[in-house]
Amino acid sequence: MGGSEPMALALAEAEAVRATTSPNPWVGAVVWGPEGEVSRGATSPPGGPHAEVVALEKAGEAARGATLYVTLEPCSHFGRTGPCTEAIIKAGIARVVVGVEDPDPLVAGSGIRALRDAGIAVEVGDREGEVRELLAAYLKHRRTGCPWVVLKLAVTLDGRIAAPDGSSKWITGPEARQDAHRLRAISDALLVGAGTVRADDPELTVRFSQSLPGATGEVPGAPGRQPLRVVLGKVPPGARVAPALEMGGELSGVLRELGGRGVLQLLVEGGASVAHRFHAEGLVDRYVIYCAPALMGGDDARPMFSGAGAPTMADLWRGRFVSVGRLGEDLRIELAAVC
């Protein structure tokens, strides 16, 4: 995709802190000096400095007359930290290049206006598609108040998630399972149904230390962070998932409550009935399917979805492939609904 090299560096900075900044956005910034010198920064965990401030402090006097590239519009309000716009103006930055505007009502263009009012040139839209993809969970949450919903499934090639006896460990190999823990690491909450808790007794924790830097505290100075565990229904006594948030009712209400709790990304992990509910109600933003080169070979094994499907071809759900890649012997398929 097209776009500037400095914004590509800023995107890399943002990606590196994806697991540590929520509910703040994961943002990257680059100070690009007149002679090509570079200072980079990324958003710190909540309470710490934002990406722009980190990059400006590293640049020091080199920031004067330089261009600042930042993936998300700088904030112009007081929160846990001061306004980034004030730091940018004070540093003497001459030009700011922004990936996307911030839909947060506290910002929503006010940061760009503050910079322009101070005589700083501002451009918006550099690598916009890539920035929107990286910040999809944050952007949706700020627009709607609800989390970005990712449905994760591990399936055989014939679309089965468990054998007739209920066993499902392990359909996929270690590389796919590690990637699933990376998904957990960048999610704010994990959700399963009470039936899955009774059948599998999952812990719903991030357990692979290499899943993502900072996800479980292995990186010096990075806080350990485990996602909120959510169960639709009652948690049986002695379940390993406890303590967990027990929820019920309409899924739309569940999502609104989780969004109010600061959940930007929700990872739905099953089982088949829960997966079907989210799918049938059109609540899934992304499907991540780990497909093993294996076949159950019959109609008595458990399917991906448990519930009524499309009655005719005209009602078939169709999406688009976001990515398809190989993880060990398995495939990782990411799907999005066709808008």
The full DSSP string for 115-141 is: HHHTT-EEEE-TTHHHHHHHTHHHHHH
Q: Residue ranges of the alpha helices (H) in 174-262?
A: 174-185, 194-200, 251-260
The structure tokens listed for 187 are 């999610």
CA distance 203 to 327: 23
Spell out where the chain has E strands. 28-32, 38-42, 67-72, 95-100, 121-124, 148-155, 160-162, 189-193, 228-232, 245-247, 265-270, 286-291, 302-303, 319-327, 330-337
Alpha carbon of residue 300 to chain centroid: 35
Q: Catalytic residue numbers? A: 52
